[in-house]
Amino acid sequence: DVKVTQSSRYLVKRTGEKVFLECVQDMDHENMFWYRQDPGLGLRLIYFSYDVKMKEKGDIPEGYSVSREKKERFSLILESASTNQTSMYLCASSLGFGDTDTQYFGPGTRLTVL
């Protein structure tokens, strides 16, 4: 069965802290994605990766960075967390693009920055 796991369901951090959100997929998928979800704004793509060590900016990359050292793991990094980064963060993976672009999502991490 397809599985995407995220390291935490809930996370509370202080302003200025460095925050790591981890995502692991067990499907040998090429692509991995990080989204944030806010009420009324839908799913907004932060970064994606189509290969190990490759990354591409999405629609809202400011304030975030990513790391993909292994195929199955994709990390989202908030270098200095701010209150406007309080949100639900969703990780996804897909086999490829186009016809194979079915994305499989993790359960999400609700991050609160105080």
Partner 1 sequence: GENVEQHPSTLSVQEGDSAVIKCTYSDSASNYFPWYKQELGKGPQLIIDIRSNVGEKKDQRIAVTLNKTAKHFSLHITETQPEDSAVYFCAASKGSGNTPLVFGKGTRLSVIA
Q: What DSSP state is assigned to residue 111?
A: E
In angstroms, rounded to a whole number, what is the distance separating the alpha carbons of residues 18 and 45? 20
Task: Name the one range near partner 1 by CB under 8 A: 10-18, 64-72, 74-82, 99-107.
Answer: 99-107
Which of residues 41 and 114 has its CB atom nearest to partner 1 in the complex?
41
Interface positions, 64-93, toward partner 1 (CB under 8 A): 90, 92
In angstroms, rounded to a whole number, what is the distance separating the alpha carbons of residues 39 and 20? 23
Shortest Å distance, C-beta 72 to partner 1 = 17
Tell how far CA 72 is from the center of its chain: 13
Helix (H) or strand (E) holding 22: strand 19-25
Shortest Å distance, C-beta 87 to partner 1 = 14
> Is 4 an interacting residue with respect to partner 1 (CB under 8 A)?
yes
Q: What DSSP state is assigned to residue 26?
A: S
Shortest Å distance, C-beta 15 to partner 1 = 27
> Is 95 an interacting residue with respect to partner 1 (CB under 8 A)?
no
Do the Cβ atoms of 12 and 112 come closer than 8 Å?
yes
Contact set with partner 1 (CB under 8 A): 4, 31, 33, 40-43, 45, 48, 50, 56, 58, 90, 92, 97-99, 101-108
